[in-house]
Structures are given as structure tokens and as C-alpha cells.
Chain A
């Protein structure tokens, strides 16, 4: 019972964190068609910016300014980089962001060092909120929950309720036509990319101290973010939300299950002693997202909630 409750709680928090990260990517992916490989790098930038800002002036200012800074970096990237490659098609864009990820990783290593930095949960939130079955539950996790939900609502309103959302969606498939109708498409793209990156940055501010802030944080979470976006369905915020939670729960529960293949497939004659039999469910956790990705792409290429194939 307690395992279930805690896995649920932790899974949801991890899922929300994933959602914060992937919402920005969903935004960029669905509106600009750019599969931003550097997205997790912007997440990392968010964490490092927050680390630096908070060491000078505290966490709360970092919470506001770090995402803005990341957004500006993102907008600049679009303005002077991505826009140039746009003409060469999506693969070129993808490769550009791929190279950018490399670059950001290296720059981060130079500025902040190769090892993790001591970016911590703000003291105000650093206390156990409640104790359940003898385990303390840190308040910061609930804070994550609130921020993520607020973000979901804001994004949803932005996307569904405004003309800006319409323009962006139209500009994705018919950028030139939208321009002829008098809308400044490049600026819209720049804004979208900037906002998407800022969202990643926000996730970094919040996730950086919840997890670890180190130069490997981008590459370790990057692929999972792709999984979320693809599994959730291209351009679907709801899909990304569901997929994030699903993945968060799946991974957390997998770790907490104490069974091996031998226990489960014992009836097939699979023994404790065989190599396959000894594989535990917990050890499967890291590969579950990718299993899901491959399966989804094969079975339902548009993802859970998407309206078009990727």
C-alpha cells in the first residue's frame, strides 16, 4: 500500500517535471515543425542560470529571471541560427539543434565546470511537508506540482483561446501565406521558439535542484523528452501531459516493483538461474520509455492524442 501511494506521488512529480520540459518542445515542435534536439540543453541552461542567480540573490528572483534569460538565448538562437537553416528543410533544422546541443554542453562545462554544482532547494521550501508511513514528504515536490499545473493552464489558454495561436498554427504549414495576410511570421517564430525555450528553462530552474545540476543533465533527459512528445502526439499539449504522467508513473512503479522475470514468467519454466530470469522489473525502468516510443511509432504513429503522423 505505502509503496503504491509513494510511487504514485513520486511518479506524478517526476511526470510533471517531464511535462514542464516537454511542453516547450511540444510548442516548438507543433508550431514550427522543429524537432529541437537542444531542448534539454535549454533546460540545463535554466538550471545553471538559476544556480548563478540564486547564489547572488536568492531562488525567487532566479525563478523569474532564469527562464527569461533562457528565453532570450532561445530567441537569439532562432533569430541568428535556425532562421538561416529553415530554408534547407527540417532535417537541416534538426541537425542545427543537434549541433547546438553539443555546443551548449561544452559552453556550460567551460563556464560552470565539468562537475555538478551545488544548486539547492530554497530554504523556504526545504522542509518535510508531511510524514506518511514513516517517510517524510518534502514540500518542494508539492511546489513543483503547483508550478507545473499553472504552466499547463497558461499554455492551454494561450494555444486554444487566442488568435495568436491560430496564426502560429497557420504559419507552420503556410508561412508565406500568413505573411501575405500581414502577419510578421519570423517574429512569431522567434517568439515561439523563445517561449518554448523559456519553458524548458523554467523546468530547469525547478528540476535542477530537485535532481542534479551537472553538464550531463541535458543528455540524460533529452531523449526521454522526445519520447514524451512523440508518445503524447505531435502538437498535443494534452497528449504531452498524459504521456508525461504515464512515463513518470511507469518508471517510478517499475523501480518499486520487486520482481524478476523468473517470478513473472516462472510458469514458462524461466528460472532464477538463467540470465533472463534474473532480470528484475526495476532494472527495466530506464528502457521502458524507449520501448514505449518504438511501440507507439509502430502501432499508432500519431501518438496518443495527436492529429497527424510525425
Chain B
């Protein structure tokens, strides 16, 4: 089977500092991948480079089409969704308006409708007409994911969804992601918290110093104390 996303020799820079140094990875349709690594190894940058927020060098193929260098809205139109690190909800707009903005094209409705979405997440339904700025951290996280789903993506890149969340809410968010995966959407999950990553992912990539240093299934990963010690702990 063709991979849905295929990254080959991806490089990226911030000014003069070389952050990604030849990243390779692939994701199959419907697959859930976890991307692990220490702080600052370039996981978020990988996500940003794929999404066109950081200028990439190298090849990024999505559904067989080269997307490196495309504007981000074009990438989105091809079916790539992105939930960035900082969530970026539109705080002054209502929850519903936020969801409306997730729709790329009013004429061709996607798999999910706003109403369905709200059914799926009763927390959001209760606050549908509140400004999104007042939501709690966990709810904001749910809203961003729903908003991305409104665009009917085939692959979502989610960056650190549980960062800064209270332990209890971390759990909720994990469930949400699992739910989305069940609907057949492929997911690239950038995560620090192993318990969640290993629970949902089908495969794990470990990143170090701007490149991939290990990949395998969660079970294989649990065996590899050495990988864990070398690349995830200092």
C-alpha cells in the first residue's frame, strides 16, 4: 500500500540554526503514529515543516503529491489537518463560529457536521454559543480538534495536546484522540507523555538531534529500555 504521508530527507532551519537534519518517516492511511523525543529535538518543527509554517527542504509527499513549499492553505485543502502546540482557538468567537471556520468550503460538506460534532462532545455542546476564550484548557483542546475535523482531513497532526493540562483532563484528551482515530483518520501525535502515546499509537518514531533515531511498535518500544534511556531521558 502507498503511504499517505512520506517524508524524505527533510531539513529545516531557524535563521542559521539547522534544526531538522534529514528526517524520514511515513504514515499509512488510517494509522496512528506517535512522535517522541526530548525537548527541542525538533518534533514541533517537523510538524511545522510539513504544514508549511517553516520553510522545508527535502521531499514531503502527501497522497503521492509533493507538498513541500506549498502554501499552508493548499496543504490543508489536500486533506492535512493540524492542531498546533498553542491551540490557537479564536477566543472572541463562539464555539460554533470556531467550528464554522473549520469548514474549508461551504459547498462540499465533509464527513462531519457541526451538529454531529457537538453530539460527540457534550462539553462543547453546552458551551456552543459562548466565546471560545472562556473554555477551560481541556475544552479548548477538544474544540481545536473538532475544528480541524470540520475540514474533513485524512491525516491530522496533533502537537502536544496534553501540555500544561491537569492530570485529570489529560486522560479525557487521550480518549478524544482515540475516538477520532476510530473514525479512520490517520493521526500523527507529537507527545511527551508515554502512557498516552503508547496507548493509542500503532507505531512510534523517536527523534533525536533533528533526525529519526528509532521506530517500531509500542510493544517493541517497551522492550527497548536502551532507546528510552538514550533518547528520551537525559
Interface residues of A (CB under 8 A from B): 163, 166-167, 169-170, 173-174, 176-186, 307
Contact = CB atoms under 8 A, between A and B. Distances in A.
B148 interface: yes
Contacts of B106: 163
Nearest to A180: B82
A201 B90 CA distance: 32
B72 A179 contact: yes
A166 B100 contact: yes
A185 B53 CA distance: 13
Nearest to A173: B90
A166 B73 contact: no
B179 interface: no
Q: Tell me the dominant secondary structure on chain A's binding face.
A: helix
B84 A177 contact: yes
- Sorting the interface of chain B by its residue count into under 10, 10 to 19, 20 to 34 or 35 or more gives 20 to 34
Contact of B71 (A169, A170, A173, A184): A184
Contacts of B81: 180
Contact of B101 (A173, A181, A184, A307): A181
Contacts of A174: 88, 90
B185 interface: no
Interface of B: 51-53, 71-73, 75-77, 81-82, 84, 88, 90, 92-93, 97, 100-102, 104-106, 147-148, 151
A167 B84 CA distance: 18
Given A167-B101, A176-B53, A184 B90 contact: no
A167 B147 CA distance: 13
B101 A186 contact: no
B71 A179 contact: yes
B76 A181 contact: yes
A161 to B, nearest CB: 13
Nearest to A177: B88
13 contacts: A163-B106, A166-B101, A167-B101, A174-B90, A177-B90, A179-B72, A180-B81, A180-B148, A181-B147, A183-B73, A183-B101, A184-B73, A307-B92
A264 B229 CA distance: 84
Contacts of B71: 179, 184, 186
